[in-house]
């Protein structure tokens, strides 16, 4: 089975399959083993789920032979709305264009072990990517100035607010990119650059500036979203080191 009770972080999965039996079997395998799962019966509702933000998966399992939008076109539409890893599933070998569009393929019928290997491969490849920048996560000069002006707990509150705002703006950026709304990407990037710059969160500010400058090149935005997420995670880890919370 899929490692029931294993001590590991499990990705959220979106399963798109028009066959009820296949959908139920795969869903049972995943949910019984701790995965957060969303399902859709066809391409159109799955795209709506991603657009509305009701589902933010790390892995998408998609049948590439369904009525309506399907195959390579569906994979491309999913990529425009999500940064998830996309695995094609089908009862027969897919066309070459589908294989090129997807991140992997699993042929039906497949058992628990094959599904386990697929998700383990995803976990192995999902390590935090390096962020290529010489900018510090947090400006030591700005932090020192804040500490001179405010008590320690207030400084922590400032940076907690910065992190919370970045979470919200990251979601707004993802939706704007899915809509191909370059003006909104530019506006949010500008706001991140300004706000994070004022707070001394230099890595995030730099990425915000790149969103502002490169908003007309939306094909690069998915990679920038990943960099922004890494910068946010690094900021949150640094805050735990700089401002350890008192045990209650």
Tens of pLDDT along 224-236?
788 888 888 888 8
Q: Mind listing the domains of the chain with CATH numbers? A: 13-125 (3.40.50.2300), 140-242 (1.20.120.160)
Bond into 148 cis (ω within 30): no
Evaluate if residue 130 carries a pLDDT over 60.
no
Q: What share of the chain is helix, strand, coil (3-state, %, to 5)?
A: 60, 10, 35
Residue 131 — pLDDT band, cuts 50, 70, 90? low
pLDDT of residue 168: 92
Question: Taking the model in full, what pTM does it have?
Answer: 0.51
Evaluate if residue 184 carries a pLDDT over 70.
yes
pLDDT tens-digit series, residues 13-39: 999 998 888 888 888 888 887 788 899
CA 69, CA 147: separation in Å to the nearest integer?
A: 56
- More confident position, 22 or 128: 22
């Amino acid at each position: 089975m899929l490692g029931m009770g294993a001590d590991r972080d499990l990705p959220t999965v979106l399963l798109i399959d028009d066959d009820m039996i296949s959908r139920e079997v795969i869903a049972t395998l995943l949910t019984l083993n701790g995965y957060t799962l969303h399902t859709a019966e066809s391409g159109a509702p799955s795209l709506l789920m991603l657009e509305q933000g009701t589902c933010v998966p790390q892995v998408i399992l998609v049948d590439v032979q369904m009525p309506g939008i399907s195959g390579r076109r569906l994979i491309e539409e999913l990529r425009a709305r999500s940064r998830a890893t996309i695995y094609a599933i089908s009862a027969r070998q897919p066309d070459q264009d589908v294989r090129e569009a997807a991140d992997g393929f699993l042929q039906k019928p497949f058992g628990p072990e094959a599904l386990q290997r697929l998700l383990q491969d995803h976990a192995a490849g999902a390590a935090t990517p390096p962020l290529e920048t010489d900018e510090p996560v947090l400006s030591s000069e700005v932090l020192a100035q804040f500490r001179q002006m405010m008590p320690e707990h207030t400084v922590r509150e400032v940076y907690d607010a910065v992190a919370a705002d970045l979470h919200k703006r990251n979601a707004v950026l993802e939706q704007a990119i899915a809509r191909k709304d370059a003006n909104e990407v530019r506006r949010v990037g500008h706001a991140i650059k300004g706000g994070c710059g004022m707070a001394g969160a230099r890595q995030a500010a730099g990425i915000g500036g790149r969103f502002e400058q490169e908003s007309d090149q939306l094909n690069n935005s998915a990679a920038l979203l990943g960099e922004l997420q890494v910068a946010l995670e690094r900021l949150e880890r640094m805050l735990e080191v700089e401002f350890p919370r008192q045990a209650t």
